Amino acid sequence: MSALMPADQRQHPLLEIARRTRVRDRRWTDAAFRWFCIATALCSVLILAVLLASIFVQGYGRLSWHFLQHYPEPDPRWAGIGPALWGTVWVCCVCGLFALPIGVATAVFLEEFPPQRWWTRRLHNFIQLNISNLAGVPSVVYGILGLTLFVSMAHLAGTPQQPFWEIGVRYYDQFWSLGDRAVLVPVSDPQAPPTLAHAGLHAQNFDGQRIDVTVVKSRRDAPQAPDQLQYTLIEGRPAGRISKSSWYHMRIPLGRSVLAAALTLMLVILPIVIIASQEALRSVPSSLREAGLGIGATPWQVVRTVTLPAAIPGMMTGSILAMSRAIGEAAPILIMAGAVFISTSPGSLVDEVTVMPLQIYDWASRPQVEFHQLAATGILVLLAVLLVFNSLAVFIRQRTQKPLS
């Protein structure tokens, strides 16, 4: 057959052998690279499985309802992670409520509403440049920023002990009567010293029931009846200042509170949410936007009914990654809050808070083996919380996903 071919189309036997060798080498290279990628992925999964298995073996024996509900104690047998668990839930929920709408709105502004004038183009470029730079800033820098801006408001609006504005809290002076009963006197000015000027009119007990109080100058003037001694106070006795706050308690500055921690974490994950939302919006075909504008819809109607529903899956993927980072962050909260031992769960947005990464770090840094086991149990609980948040985001993505048609 080759003898019948023209001379210019015939191949030299050596050239044919070289061509086949090159093909065989390319196939071997392709197979070797494929197996290298498979081996790398298997090694990564194997290392992760070994770490999870070791943590599970160390911490599973400590996992119980008591551990989930109780507060930390010096004795590892009775220590729990309850305040840190609920603190993490509070902080992450509030952080998501702030970060996700702001991040999505910023991405929509940057991608769907192009600038028309020179100053809007400058503003657009300035915002985009800062978002790209903030995505690479270490989280500890955000902790310092949150400590200065949210905790103390740079001392421009009072201090957490002497707030500039406060709502949802009542202050009381607690006195001990001659009958060893606690008597609460409402305080109109939290900065005023304890006084008994109006104790007979406004005193109450811990249950909030109004009581009649008798104020005497010395014990010699006190009544003799035992039931009257229950609510008899001596003028000049020292008192303690306590407070009762509602769930809507709010103050400025925020102090080392849930809201300050959530806003600090919002700054950490906001660039991630914005960049992921921008990429999701860019993946929507431009033909869908042109079709919406062609039938007379306004740009906002196109964004609301066409672009956003089509980009929600990608946005939720970015939100999952952002919230996963927020749940595991410890450095910003450590700088901003600085508290590890808190015996009560948050009841309002301005209550002091600790989170599970801080508690796990505290247990892992101690030399006793029992605390290391508690740290492993805390890691299991942290992973469970992370899976719950991610599952919720995946569920929302599946329910809101619409086909591109």
The per-residue pLDDT for range 144-190, each reduced to its tens digit, is 988 888 887 766 767 777 788 888 888 888 888 777 777 888 887 77
* Of 233, 202, 203, 230, residue with least CA distance to 215: 233
Task: Tell me the backbone φ, ψ of residue 245, rounded to 5 degrees.
Answer: -110, 150
Are the CB atoms for 356 and 261 separated by under 8 Å?
no
Q: Give tens-digit pLDDT for 281-337.
A: 998 888 888 888 888 888 889 998 888 888 888 888 888 888 888 888 888 888 887
277/263 Cα distance (integer angstroms): 20
Report domain extents, the chain. Answer: 7-59, 67-157+255-400, 165-252
Pick the CATH number of 67-157+255-400 from 3.30.2020.10, 1.10.3720.10, 3.40.1280.30, 3.30.1950.10: 1.10.3720.10
Answer yes or no: is pLDDT of 265 > 90: yes
DSSP run (H or E) holding 166: strand 165-176
> What percent of the chain clears pLDDT 90, i.e. is strictly above it?
23
Taking only the tens place, the pLDDT of each residue in 18-59 is 777 777 778 888 888 999 999 999 999 999 999 999 999 988
Bridge partners for 216 per DSSP: 234
Is pLDDT of 138 > 80? yes
Q: What is the pTM of this model?
A: 0.80
